[in-house]
Amino acid sequence: MTSTFWRTASFCVFWLACLACSSPLRASSFYVDSAQGNDANAGTSRGRPWKTLEKINATDFHPGDRILLKAGSKWVGQLVLHNSGSAGHPIKIDRYGDGARPRIDGEGNVENVVQLQNVQQVELRNLELTNHGDTEGVRRGVLIAAVDYGTAHHIVIGDLYIHDVNGTNKKKETGGILFRTMGSTKPSRFDDLLIERNIIWKVDRSAIGAQSNEFARSKWYPSHGVVIRDNYAEDIGGDGIVPWATDGALIEHNIVLHCNHRAGSYNAGIWQWSTDNSLFQLNEAAFTHTTLDGEGFDSDYNSRNTHFIYNYSHDNEGGFMLICTPVKRDEKENWGNTGTLIDYNISRNDHTRAINLQGADQTTVEHNAVYESAGDNVNIVQVTNWEGWSKDAVFRNNTFAAAGVGSYGHESKRIADGTYEITPGWGEASGIRFEGNTYLGNQMNLPVDPQGKVDATVPKPVTEPEEPQFDPAAPDNFSAYIAKHRAWMLRLFEKQFGTRPHLLQPHTLSSVVADAGV
């Protein structure tokens, strides 16, 4: 009988311990009010909130906890989270009450207004962040970092209003949102990182950027499940959106305007570097400044199988699309740029050049509509040299329309402002084919295209009236704007190509590496 009793008691203790571990019994909500709070309060009710960011930063939180900042509150300083949630029970940072997003101002005295380093299972939403100092420096709105950590799972950065971050235009890893993976002792990456519905306005140098030392092919350890979606970026010193060291990233329906505004260096609107199987769809990139790159979109090097589909590029000083790599390969660092697919995109009133093929190989450009405006002299397709020349590219079933002058050829001279003089033909590039394209308007030095169609008539571009507009100075209207803009984009592409766009899902081809013991 005694033996039976102790077996029963032990089972009950074990069952209760399992229940405690598996259920978020300790989860609490913590309220923070900059005006009416007091750090001596328990913080677990709206009537007795905490007051300061320092109280948050010094507290250990548990899976399922919520840190709720009162709408309309304002703080100066930095919010740092040191704890992780668990699967299904993330730690959430959000707002409570009605009114404006709670605001945290770094005043230029902190690198990161919000810092999430070596944590996981975290969701951050509905804050206003700014970080403007008297001089330029390394400054950001949000840093998400995994450093000698292994794999950080499930991080959400959503519905933030980030503005007036005067970082430095000398470094790409400053600006709005940075996700960083670094490993000197343990490979590190993200799995399930979602950055969505954020407004990023007047920041230097990058709107949404990345930094990694896991990019080299000798130690390739890419992040998986990275989604950058429904964000708006305007008035950006350098680059707009740039993922690094990812496999199967989805960059969908982002609006990026007026990039490369202050950097004075090579930047573009939306692009990737050192990635595999990136999918860019339904994005708008416009008004990118200068011809130091200056394109709306870019497929960059150490990358494989990048896909651009249903994107809208217009009024970019440097053109529509750059596809580039140094031709000299390095099996440890750079695998070149191979397998880029660019299809069903629209380019309107992009200047200087439409498509610049620079060293990449096995490139396919098909079913795109390119409309160059009156008064412009544009290199519609140019092939240029980066430590060598491209090979094996096909341009198929595109519409190239020039109301000004459109031309085709290869680099004969590079000019300091990032432009090129071109000569007819493809020079030392090999395997450059044109198949069944339509050439409209005033075209010079047409490529050999036996199935091509040539017509001097200049058509009007297909348009969808009344593109929705957004004023980042009035952020409360953003949810309605982003839904209207997505619907507007779908109608535009349906009108251009005759069928409603079928949005795709990213895929991952490279093998998944073990989580390095995490």
pLDDT digit string, tens, across residues 453-493: 999 998 888 889 999 999 999 999 999 999 999 999 999 99
- Please name which of 191, 255, 250, 282 lies closest in space to residue 505, comparing C-alpha atoms: 250
**Residue 377 main-chain phi, psi, to 5 deg:** -110, 105
Rounded to whole angstroms, the maximal C-alpha distance in the chain is 101
Per-residue pLDDT for 510 more than 70?
Answer: no
Strand-pair category, 420-423 with 399-414: antiparallel
Per-residue pLDDT for 21 more than 50?
Answer: no
The residue type found at 322 is L
Q: How confident is the model at residue 507 (pLDDT cuts 50, 70, 90)?
A: confident
pLDDT on residue 329 = 83
Per-residue pLDDT for 44 more than 90?
Answer: yes
pLDDT on residue 169 = 96
- Beta bridge partners, 152, equal 190
Residue 313 is encoded by which pair of tokens? Answer: 């590029």
Measured distance CA(396)–CA(343) in Å, rounded? 9
Q: How many Cα neighbours within 13 Å face the side chain of 494?
A: 10
Residue 380 is encoded by which pair of tokens? Answer: 């519609």
Residues with Cβ < 8 Å from 156, sequence gap 6 or more? Answer: 90, 122, 123, 124, 125, 194, 196
Of 322-336, 409-423, 440-454, 499-513, the one with minimum mean pLDDT is 499-513
Q: How many Cα neighbours within 13 Å face the side chain of 334?
A: 14
Q: How confident is the model at residue 26 (pLDDT cuts 50, 70, 90)?
A: confident
Mean pLDDT of the chain: 93
pTM: 0.93
The secondary structure element, H or E, covering residue 279 is strand 279-281
Mean pLDDT, residues 151-174 taken together:
97
For residues 95-128, b (16+ Cβ closer than 10 Å) or e, as one string? bbeeeebbbbbbebebbbbbbbbebbbbbbbbbb
- Tell me which residue has tokens 């507007």: 488
Of 299-313, 390-404, 428-442, 449-463, the one with minimum mean pLDDT is 449-463
What are the helix and strand counts (H, E) for the chain? Answer: 3, 42
Per-residue pLDDT for 2 more than 80?
Answer: no
Long-range contacts of 424-427 (CB under 8 A, 24+ apart): 426/383, 427/383, 427/385, 427/389
> In this predicted model, what pLDDT tens digit does every residue of 335-379 receive, in sequence order?
999 999 999 999 999 999 999 999 999 999 999 999 999 999 999
CA dihedral for 406, 408, 413, 419, sign (positive or negative): positive
Per-residue pLDDT for 16 more than 80?
Answer: no
Per-residue pLDDT for 3 more than 50?
Answer: no
The residue type found at 45 is S
CA distances from 172 to 99, 112, 491 (A): 34, 15, 35
3-state SS, 367-379, equals CCEEEECCCCEEE
Cβ atoms < 10 Å from Cβ of 70 = 20
Q: Is 22 or 369 the better-scoring residue by pLDDT?
A: 369
- Beta bridge partners, 244, equal 273
Domains of the chain (ranges plus CATH)?
Answer: 26-455 (2.160.20)
pLDDT on residue 516 = 36
Mean pLDDT, residues 410-422 taken together:
97
- Please name which of 283, 267, 83 lies closest in space to residue 175, comparing C-alpha atoms: 267
Share of the chain above pLDDT 90, in %: 90
pLDDT on residue 25 = 54
Q: How confident is the model at residue 512 (pLDDT cuts 50, 70, 90)?
A: very low
DSSP 220-259: ---EEEEEEES-EEEEESS-SB--BSEES-EEES-EEES-
Measured distance CA(251)–CA(241) in Å, rounded? 9
